[in-house]
A and B are shown apart, each in its own frame.
Chain A
Amino acid sequence: MLMQLAGLALYAESVWVTADPYKVYPILGVSGKDDVYAGAWISIFTGFAFFCICVFGIISLVRGNRLMVLLYLVLILVVYLFECASCITAYTHRDFVVSNSNLVTKQMLTYYSADTHQGRELTRMWDRFMMEQQCCGTNSPMDWVNYTSVFRGRYPEVVAPWPFYCCKRDPNFIILNEEGCRLGHVDYINTKGCFDHIKHAVDSYAWGVSWFGFAILMFTCPVVLLVIYHYTTM
């Protein structure tokens, strides 16, 4: 019965992750590695499967039918394996993306303001992040200055050393002082990098999928062992 509830909870959790409330999907999608989402999709499936199989298991145990219990065990074992995979994938992928900021920085420099589908999508995402989170670049505004990038190739440095979304704005989203922003005066530019925000988003997804799945698996293990024991005594 508890496993049923756990299965449902996992299902809900994974739906939350795949719905991407932080809108960081472009970062993961562009890199061609969106395994956190793959993990989440798998756990949607396994969460629901846990629920169904547990209903089936309870019925079979109540009936005391050996064949049905055996079927239950086989099914739950398969789901168990899948859930393990989802757990590990999500966590590994989190390490890959946000264990340090290099991947995200490189991606930002390669795709920001690029005239491709991926570029446009990533640009939109970064613009929104920088406006809403009041951050600039991945680590700091200097990311735009220290490295070559598509952005640098398109806009002369004299006019725009960094995107104007880095500039501090008033409540109406009007740039406070363009010249001050261009010079990098601390009162007119967001000096904080956006990496913390991205890391937080990806982390919470990975934690959701991975640790929650992990906890459920830990709980499922003794239950399954008990059922196996019960099966041998039937």
Chain B
Amino acid sequence: MSEVRQESTSSLQRKKPPWLKLDIHAPMGAAVAGSALEAPDLPAEHQHAVAQILRPQIANPKYVTNNPTLTTVALEKPFCTFDGSVSKSASYEVHLYVMVDSATTISASVMDNGNKSLGATFEQTHGGKLGPYKAATFNVPHCTSPPKLSDIADVAKAPAVLTQYLIRVGDDSACLYDPNLQEACNPPLSEDTSYRFKFVLVDRITDIVKDQTLWSDPIKTSKLKPSSSIDIWPGQRSGGMIAVTFVLSVLTLVVAAAFLAAL
């Protein structure tokens, strides 16, 4: 987690707030740098430059130790990613799209013909197998006042910081069975499957896609090992046990021999 490396990666990193820069782990920094290299040289006036070469990132493992789990993936919310595309007059929200990783994912679009965002659900896409589905909708995170991660240790502030910082894909185990559900359903993912994620900036009123990130690198949900596979053989005997057995056997022999001799 050297700061030097972070400094040298890319100027894009500096657009992130300082707390993100410090806490980014190495692979994440590398991924961002890689995507920056791949991206064509965009003209300075191009407003979408930042978001379109960034990818959604998995939450910092220092704070979220159990990630990805069997059925959930916790992602960092896109802080400052959409800054260039937000105009003051309109109100926006961010949609999160999820798709099972496959050869066609990179090119999969989350817009329909009228540039509106797709409304596909988990069920319609068979859990993301057929195409991206909308998993969640949330407000655009504040770039100016990002949550302080050190505040998580404070019990009073923790719930707020966690919701501001994280979006947990697969968080809602009940929504599939809720007939009155209006919003996007975010049911548990399948285990041992690679998923890709994408954040999309959408105009709240017209539902038109203003900006989007790249599809994330594939993130694989974990897999259970059968507990019957645990080998319980104790392996090598400890020296103490050998010593005890040996010395006691010898002593017993000596005593018994002496006793027999005395008879």
Contacts and interface: CB of A to CB of B under 8 A. Distances in A.
Nearest to B246: A88
Contact of B252 (A81, A147, A161, A187): A81
A142 interface: yes
B226 interface: yes
A95 B241 contact: yes
A183 B232 contact: no
A176 B155 CA distance: 7
A198 interface: no
A184 B65 contact: yes
Contacts of A51: none
Nearest to A178: B159
A116 interface: no
Contact of B230 (A88, A106, A188): A106
A157 interface: yes
B71 A88 contact: no
Interface string B46-70: 0000000000000000111111011
Interface residues of B, number: 54
A187 B65 CA distance: 11
B27 interface: no
Contacts of B248: 84, 87-88, 214, 217
Interface string B231-256: 11111111011001101110110111
The A interface is mostly helix, strand or loop, or mixed, namely helix
A156 B245 CA distance: 48
User: Which one of B65, B66, B168 has the highest number of Cβ atoms from chain A below 10 Å of its Cβ?
Assistant: B66
A77 B227 contact: no
B154 to A, nearest CB: 9
Contacts of A158: 71-72, 170-173, 188
A92 B241 contact: yes
A231 interface: yes
B65 A185 contact: yes
B105 to A, nearest CB: 24
A225 B72 CA distance: 71
User: Which one of A87, A105, A185, A214 has the highest number of Cβ atoms from chain B below 10 Å of its Cβ?
Assistant: A185
Nearest to A233: B262
Contacts of A80: 252, 255
B159 A179 contact: yes
Given A103-B234, A110-B227, A157-B188, A221 B251 contact: yes
Given A211-B244, A228-B255, 12 more contacts: A94-B241, A102-B232, A109-B230, A147-B225, A148-B225, A148-B227, A170-B155, A177-B155, A185-B158, A191-B65, A218-B251, A224-B255
10 shortest A-B CB distances, which residue pairs? A184-B66, A184-B65, A109-B227, A147-B227, A106-B230, A103-B232, A99-B234, A84-B248, A91-B241, A148-B224
21 contacts: A81-B252, A88-B244, A91-B241, A95-B238, A95-B241, A146-B225, A148-B225, A156-B188, A157-B72, A158-B171, A158-B188, A170-B155, A176-B155, A177-B158, A180-B162, A191-B65, A211-B244, A217-B248, A218-B251, A221-B254, A229-B262
